[in-house]
C-alpha cells in the first residue's frame, strides 16, 4: 500500500494542506521564508519538519533536499509567491519573486519525486524570467526542465468554483507524474457551483467597528452589540472588522453587486468632495447569487478589489440602505476558502495576519480534491510509489 508523502515549498501557513491528513496524505517536510508563518504552520502541523529560511540560499536547499530524501518524500507541492504576476499585485516582470520557480525546479531535480504540484496565478503563462542571461517564458522553462521525465496534465487552468468552493479564484496548476508510472494526473470533474447565499447567507449580520471609536459606532449602529453577540455564538472568528465611517457610509448606500463609485450621492471622495479615481471593482459589494470574487491578501480593505459583503436591503427613515457595510469576517473568509472549522488557528494570530495568509492560500477543498483525484488514479493502476 503506497502513501503520498509531501514536501511543501513556499508553504505559507498550510492552507492547502488543511484536509490532507483526512485523506491519508502526509507532509513530513515544509519550507517557509517568513518566521511568523512558519511558527503558525508548526502549531497547526506539529509532526511536520519545518525548515525556516530562504530557498534561494544553497545551504537551505541542501537541508530541504537532505530531510526530504530521509523522509522518503514522493510528492512536491510548490506555490511560489505570485505578487509579481498577479492582477492584484504589481505585475512587475522583473520582480525577483518571479524567479523563485527556478529554485523549486532545482529541488525537484535533486529529489526526483514521483509527483509534482506547481501552482500559481494564470498570468504565469505569460510571464518571462531570466535564466542564466536567457529570457524565457515560465511555462516553457518548466516544460524544458521537466517534460523529459514527467507527464504533464493537459489542462492547467482551474477555477476554485468548479471544485464546490464558493469563490471564483482561477489558478494555473501543473500536475506532473513520472512517465514510468504510466498515469496522467488531471483535475476531477466539475462540481456544482456554490453561491455566497448558500455558503454564508445564513450567518448573522454584522455591523463594522468604526475607526473613529466605539461611541460613534454605537451611535450609528444601535444594534451593534446584539449583532456581535449573535455572531460570536457561531464562531469567535465571526467578529466585526474595522473601517472608517466615510467608507462605511458609502457602502451603506451601495446595492448588492454594485460599486460605490457609481453612487450619485454617497460615492468615494476626498474630504473636499473630489471623487476618488478608482477601478470599477473597488468599493464593490459581492453578489449573493454567485461565488465570491478571488480572495486576495488585501481582503481587509473596502477600497480594494470586490471585498465588500453583499449586504441586505432595509429601510431607514424612508431611505433604502444596505446592511453589513464591511468586508467579510474572518469566519466568512475561512468559509469561502473552504478551510475546515477544525483547523486549529493559533491564539496569537491577529486579524491582519490571518487575512494576509488566508488570501495567499490555495482553497483547502480545491487542493484536497486534486489530491484525491491522484489517489483514485493510483488505485486504478495499482501503482507502487517509490
Question: Taking each helix axis from N to C terminus, what angle separates 100-111 and 138-146, rounded to the nearest 10 degrees?
Answer: 10
Catalytic site residue from 15, 82, 146, 251: 82
What sign results for the dihedral spanned by CA atoms 40, 41, 45, 51? negative
Do residues 247 and 303 lie in contact, with contact meaning Cβ atoms separated by under 8 Å? Answer: yes
C-alpha–C-alpha distance, residues 384 and 259, integer Å:
53
Q: Is 269 one of the annotated active-site residues of the chain?
A: no
Q: What is the rounded distance in angstroms from the CA atom of residue 56 to the CA atom of residue 310?
A: 42
Strands 242-243 and 209-210: parallel
- For residue 154 the three cell numbers come to 493537459
DSSP for 280-336, please give it.
TTBTBBPPTTSPBPPP-TTTT-TTSBT-B----EEEETTEEEES--SBPPHHHHHHH
State how far the alpha carbon of 163 is from the alpha carbons of 44, 159, 191, 249, 382, in Å.
24, 7, 5, 36, 26
Q: Which residues are catalytic?
A: 82
Amino acid at each position: 500500500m503506497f502513501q503520498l508523502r509531501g514536501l511543501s515549498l513556499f508553504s505559507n501557513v498550510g492552507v492547502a494542506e488543511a484536509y490532507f491528513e483526512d485523506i491519508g496524505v502526509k507532509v513530513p517536510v515544509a519550507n517557509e521564508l517568513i518566521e511568523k508563518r512558519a511558527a503558525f504552520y508548526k502549531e497547526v502541523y506539529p509532526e511536520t519538519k519545518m525548515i525556516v529560511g530562504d530557498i534561494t540560499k544553497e545551504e537551505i536547499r541542501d537541508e530541504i533536499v537532505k530531510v526530504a530524501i530521509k523522509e522518503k518524500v514522493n510528492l512536491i507541492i510548490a506555490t511560489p509567491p505570485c505578487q509579481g504576476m498577479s492582477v492584484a499585485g504589481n505585475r512587475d516582470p522583473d520582480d525577483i519573486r518571479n524567479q523563485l520557480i527556478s529554485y523549486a525546479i532545482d529541488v525537484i531535480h535533486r529529489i526526483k519525486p514521483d509527483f509534482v504540484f506547481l501552482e500559481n496565478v494564470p498570468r504565469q503563462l505569460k510571464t518571462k524570467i531570466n535564466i542564466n542571461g536567457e529570457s524565457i517564458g515560465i511555462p516553457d522553462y518548466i516544460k524544458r526542465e521537466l517534460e523529459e521525465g514527467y507527464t504533464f496534465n493537459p489542462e492547467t487552468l482551474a477555477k476554485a468554483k468548479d471544485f464546490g468552493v464558493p469563490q471564483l479564484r482561477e489558478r494555473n496548476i501543473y500536475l506532473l507524474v513520472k512517465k514510468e508510472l504510466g498515469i496522467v494526473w488531471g483535475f476531477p470533474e466539475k462540481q456544482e457551483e456554490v453561491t455566497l447565499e448558500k455558503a454564508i447567507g445564513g450567518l448573522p449580520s454584522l455591523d463594522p467597528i468604526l475607526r473613529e471609536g466605539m461611541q460613534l459606532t454605537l451611535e450609528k449602529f444601535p444594534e451593534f452589540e446584539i449583532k456581535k453577540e449573535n455572531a460570536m455564538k457561531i464562531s469567535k472568528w465571526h467578529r466585526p472588522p474595522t473601517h472608517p465611517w466615510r467608507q462605511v457610509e458609502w457602502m451603506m448606500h451601495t446595492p448588492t453587486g454594485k460599486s460605490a463609485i457609481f453612487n450619485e450621492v454617497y460615492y468615494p471622495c476626498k474630504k473636499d468632495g473630489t471623487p476618488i479615481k478608482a477601478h470599477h471593482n473597488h468599493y464593490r459589494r459581492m453578489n449573493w447569487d454567485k461565488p465570491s470574487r478571488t480572495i486576495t491578501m488585501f481582503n481587509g480593505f473596502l477600497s480594494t478589489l470586490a471585498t465588500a459583503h453583499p449586504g441586505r436591503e432595509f429601510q431607514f427613515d424612508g431611505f433604502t440602505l444596505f446592511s453589513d457595510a464591511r468586508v467579510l469576517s474572518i469566519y466568512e473568509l475561512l468559509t469561502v476558502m473552504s478551510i475546515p472549522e477544525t483547523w486549529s488557528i493559533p491564539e496569537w494570530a491577529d486579524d491582519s495576519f490571518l487575512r494576509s495568509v488566508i488570501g495567499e492560500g490555495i482553497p483547502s477543498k480545491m487542493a484536497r480534491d486534486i489530491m484525491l483525484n491522484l489517489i483514485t488514479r493510483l488505485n486504478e493502476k495499482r501503482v507502487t510509489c517509490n
